Amino acid sequence: MAKIKSAFFCSNCGYESSKWLGKCPTCLEWNTFTEEIINKNNTSNEDLNYLLNQNYESKTALTLKNIKSSKDVRILSIDNELNRVLGGGIVSGSLVLVGGEPGIGKSTLFLQLALSLSPRKILYVSGEESETQIKMRAERIAFYNEQLYILTETNTQKIFKQISLIEPELIIIDSIQTMHSILIESPQGSVSQIRQTAAEFQRLAKETHVPIFLIGHITKDGSIAGPKILEHIVDTVLQFEGDRHYSYRILRTLKNRFGNAAELGIYEMLHNGLKQVDNPSELLITQKPEALSGSTIAATMEGMRPLLVETQALVSQTIYSTPQRTVTGIDLRRLQILLAVLEKRGGFLFGNKDVFINIAGGIRLEDPSLDLALVCALLSSFQDIALSPKICFAGEVGLNGEIRGVTKIETRIKEADKLGFEKIIISGYNAPNAKNLKTNIEIVSLYKVEELYKKFFV
């Protein structure tokens, strides 16, 4: 009998070690190592091919000239947000990993996709819910697909058998953590099972040219192995995120072999499924009758799409010895840098002030062009001077207090103009790009944070 081998894996990043470790040397997480039984000899390619009912032929190397070129064949769904994050539709033979916290709406999104792709033949494999539960969910959603097959199964070999019978045009696996391959002895959801089953689906996608979506759960406490360990083997990684207290959901591209890796899709969770949000800026700017201090509008970009968002700052006298710095929607370090710049360049002392930052709508932003709006929101709250809600900002702030140019300034200005803003403050370095735009909006260009202060707060 073959000797049973075991190894320790980090459930966060998949790092393998022969002994238990307290801290993972690659992702630096603590207490993530679990022991798993592996039997490497079993997982050879021959076995996989046998199970995929395919004959193993040894491959010969080819020159580029002899490789058949294939056009990038894509399935276009009626969900424009999904098409956008995938770089223009679902690429045939692609393996897409979709991560997200439990309950955020992953199953809903992909069941809706399967239903909306009618009359294409789709296989939706669920290891989490029963057929009746899935049917109940499907009945809430407005689409109907005669050719949608539901399979509640977790054994990959049995799933492959069904796939060869049904021959679907698209496969959805919900979720990869529930899948289980008989080639590996570790339990479901362990690092080696996730890797093994994902590798089997990858081979299937490449050999049959059927696109496969793998849904994966992310948990903050790392109690189950996360989809992070698969990021390198899949073609595209999407993340579905949002605050459960808001109805907005964001589908974000983290990696994409077939398109831009910084795209964003926005949805609203309704009682009958997810609705695409076509005009997100209108939703992210709260409508208020009067101007309030501490609130400014940033003209940001997420991927190819302009997004106007409200940034709010609250600066108040601290009662503790260490002032509080609390942010939602941006990186805390970003705020700390901006506060230091304001202190050094403008003489604003935040040392005895608590500072809170919030991005309206529960969305998280990384675009550095947010800086200018943040700085203005901070100053506005500090001085308790409200700015007109008809002004918006787009500029990055450097450590010397200089206002740097940002990408795609024309798109940002056009979006602000379309939404009825009267004035946009940009970097002087961006001014040449904005010169020839035919818009009604007044464009103000500045070079230094000091100028900003003089313009609005004295």
Tokens, residue 282 = 């209108």
Choose the binding region for ligand TYD from 83-91, 249-257, 264-272, 421-429 (rule: CB under 6 A): 264-272
In the bound state with ligand TYD, the residue whose beta carbon lies nearer, of 113 and 392, is: 113
Question: According to CB under 6 A, which one of 44, 272, 352, 388 is a site residue for ligand TYD?
Answer: 272
Q: Which tokens hold the place of 35?
A: 């022991």
CA atoms of 168 and 290, how far apart (whole Å): 55
Give the number of other CB atoms < 10 A from CB of residue 66.
Answer: 8
Contact present, 91 and 235 (Cβ < 8 Å): yes
Q: Return the one option of Mg ion, ligand TYD, none that residue 26 interacts with (CB less than 5 to 8 A, by type).
A: none
Least distance in angstroms from the C-beta of 111 to ligand TYD? 8
Which of 84, 106, 249, 353: binder of ligand TYD (CB under 6 A)?
106
Residue 137 interacts with which of ligand TYD, Mg ion, none, CB < 5 to 8 Å by class: ligand TYD
Q: Which of 91, 96, 104, 125 binds ligand TYD (CB under 6 A)?
A: 104
Strands 33-38 and 5-10: antiparallel
Torsional class of 14: left (φ above 0), alpha (ψ -120 to 50), beta (otherwise)? left
Q: For the CB of residue 270, give the shortest distance to ligand TYD in the complex, in Å.
A: 6
Q: Are 253 and 261 in contact (CB under 8 A)?
A: yes
- Total number of residues that touch ligand TYD (CB under 6 A): 14
Assess 138 for contact with ligand TYD (CB under 6 A): no
* Contact status, residue 446 vs residue 403, Cβ threshold 8 Å: yes
What is the smallest separation between the CB atom of 374 and ligand TYD, expressed in angstroms?
A: 31
Toward ligand TYD, which CB reaches closer, 183 or 215? Answer: 215
For ligand TYD, give the closer residue by CB, 100 or 303: 100
Q: Which does 423 bind (CB under 5 to 8 A by kind): Mg ion, ligand TYD, none?
A: none
Span from 39-47, 101-109, 227-235, 328-336 in contact with ligand TYD (CB under 6 A): 101-109
Phi-psi region of 331 (alpha: psi -120 to 50; beta: other; left: phi over 0): beta
138 vs 378 by CB, closer to ligand TYD: 138
Q: Is 249 in the site for ligand TYD (CB under 6 A)?
A: no
Q: Which of 43, 92, 94, 108 binds ligand TYD (CB under 6 A)?
A: 108
Greatest CA separation for the chain? 84
What is the closest distance, in whole angstroms, from the C-beta atom of residue 135 to ligand TYD in the complex?
12
| Residue 242 touches ligand TYD, criterion: CB under 6 A | no
Shortest separation between residue 203's beta carbon and Mg ion, angstroms: 25
Q: Which of the ranges 103-111, 201-209, 308-316, 340-348 carries the binding residues for ligand TYD, by CB under 6 A?
A: 103-111
Residue type, 73: V
- Does 105 engage in binding with ligand TYD (CB under 6 A)? yes
Tell me: does residue 253 bind Mg ion (CB under 5 A): no
Decide: is 74 part of the binding site for ligand TYD (CB under 6 A). no
Of the ranges 223-231, 268-276, 343-351, 375-383, which one interacts with ligand TYD (CB under 6 A)?
268-276
Using the minimum distance from each CB to ligand TYD, give the nearer residue, 219 or 272: 272
Number of residues located near Mg ion, criterion CB under 5 A: 1
269 binds ligand TYD (CB under 6 A): yes
Site for Mg ion in 106-125 (CB under 5 A): 107
Nearer to Mg ion, 107 or 427 (CB): 107
**273 counts as binding ligand TYD under rule CB under 6 A:** yes
List residues near Mg ion by CB under 5 A.
107
List residues near ligand TYD by CB under 6 A.
100, 102-108, 137, 140, 269, 271-273
